[in-house]
Amino acid sequence: MDSGYKPLLALASIVSIYTLYTILLQIGGSTIGLIPQLFYAFLLGFAASLTISLIMDRGRGLVSMISKPKILVAIIVVGIVNNALNRFLLGEGTLGTNPSISSIIQRSWLIVVALLTPLVLKQKINRMQMFAILIGFIGVYIVVSGGTLLSFDYAQAPYMGFVFISAMCSAFATLAMSKYTFDIYGATVLFNLASLVFMGLLAMTTHTSLIVSFPVSAVFSVAFFGIFGFGIATNLYYHSIKMYGPQMVGNALLVIPFGTFILSAVILNTPIRIYYVLSAIFITAGIILQKYYSAVPERITSKQKLEKITIYDITGAFAKNKNPAIANQIFGGNKALAIKLDDVPDKNIDYSIFDKYGCVAFTTKSPHRNVKKYEIDFVSRLMKLKEGETALIGLGNPKKLEDAFEEFFGF
C-alpha cells in the first residue's frame, strides 16, 4: 500500500472505533454498571495488547520500558489518566447527558492541546491553525449552551463538567505522548495493566461488586472496548500521534460526533437536535481549515540567535526505527530536529559539531546507514523540500541539538 494512504487508513480506523465509545459506555454503564464494564474491558484490552506486542516485536519494547523506571512511571501515569480516569469520567458524563452531547464536549481536548503545545512541546502554532481551532470550539459551545448561546442546562452541567475533565485528561496524555518517545506496543500493554489495577482499586473503594451477570448488550460492549478499543485503537492512536502529530490526529477525531449523532439515534433513539447539526458544521469547518493550514511542527528555540532559522520537529519520522543507533537517540524526551539547506555538498558539512554534543547528524541526500528510505521520503514530504534543497537532520537531546545548530551556523 502507498505509504501516503497509511495515515488516512489509521485515522479512519480510529474514528470508526471511537465513534461507538460513548454509545457503548451508556449501554454497558446502564446494564452492568460503569466500573465493572471498564474493569473487564481493560482485562481484555491487556490480553489483546500483550498479544499484539508479542507478535509485533516479541515483547522487546515492553521489557525495555520496564527496565527504565523514569519512562515506566510516565507510562503508568499516562495510562491511568487517559485510559482509566478518562473513560470513567466520560462514562459518568454520558450517563447524565447523552452520547451526542458527550462526544462533542470530549473533543474540546484539542483546544487545550493547542494552547499548551508551544509550552510543552516547544512547537509553533500559526494564526490560521488557531483560527481553525476557534471555529471548532464554537461548535462545542453551541452544544454546551443547548443551542441558545446565552444559557445553560444546569441540571446537566455537572455531567458536562465530567466530560470536560475527561477531555483535559486526553489533552494531558496527548502532550505527554508527544513529548516522550518509546515503544507504542509495549506502552499500550502497560496502559491497560495500570488501568485494570486502577479500576479494581476503584471498585474496592466504592464497594462495587465485580461479580455481575452479562446480558448480550453488555458482552458486546465489554468485548468491543477491550479488543478493538483498548487493544487495537489505542495502538493506532498513539502511533498516529507520534507519526502525524497531535493537531492532525485531534482534528481527525473531531468528525466523531457526526457518526455518533446517527448511531445514537438509530441504536438509542437519541433525538438529533438542529443545534447538534449546527455544531457539527462548525467543527467540520475547523477540521478543513486546520488540515489546509497545518504543516510539520516548527520548534520554538530557547535562544534568540536561532529565531531566524526554522527548526522542524520530525521525531515521528523515525518512531518505528528499531536500530539502537537511531532508536536510542530519540528515546524518552530526545528529538529528531531538522533544518532546510540549499544544495550543500556533504563534504562541506562539519558533522563533528554534532558528535561533540553527543548527537547523530546526517542529511536527506546522504542519510545515516541505519535510516530507511521511506523515513527519508517521509521527512521530505513533511518539510516540503524543493529541488535543490536538502535537510540537515540531528538526533539527540533537543537542547544540545540547538547548541549544535547554533555552532553550525556560526552564531
pLDDT digits (tens, 9 = 90+) for 157-176: 889 889 989 988 888 887 77
* pLDDT for position 207: 94
Cell numbers that stand for 296 in this block? 510539520
pLDDT for residue 411 is more than 80? no
Model confidence over 209-225: pLDDT tens digits?
A: 999 888 888 888 899 88
- Whether the predicted pLDDT of 16 surpasses 90: no
Q: What does pTM read for this prediction? A: 0.71
Asked if pLDDT for residue 156 goes beyond 50, the answer is yes
Please give the pLDDT value at position 85.
Answer: 93
Residue of higher predicted confidence among 200 and 317: 200
pLDDT of residue 43: 95
What pLDDT is stored for residue 289 in this prediction? 76
- Going by pLDDT thresholds of 50, 70 and 90, the confidence category of residue 23 is confident
Which has more pLDDT, 326 or 349?
326
Q: Which has the closest alpha carbon to 48: 205, 230, 200?
A: 230
- Range scoring the smallest mean pLDDT among 139-143, 192-196, 337-341: 139-143
* Cβ pair 280, 147 in contact under 8 A: no
**Rounded to whole angstroms, how far apart are CA atoms 233 and 212?**
26
Q: Flag the least confident range among 13-27, 202-216, 304-318.
A: 304-318
User: Would the pLDDT of 132 be above 70?
Assistant: yes
Confidence of residue 1 (pLDDT cuts 50, 70, 90): very low
Average pLDDT of the chain is: 82
* pLDDT band for position 9 (cuts 50, 70, 90): confident
> Is the pLDDT assigned to residue 305 strictly greater than 60?
no
The answer to whether 123 touches 297, Cβ cutoff 8 Å, is yes
Please report the domains of the chain, with CATH numbers, ordered by start residue: 3-293 (no CATH), 304-408 (3.30.1360.30)
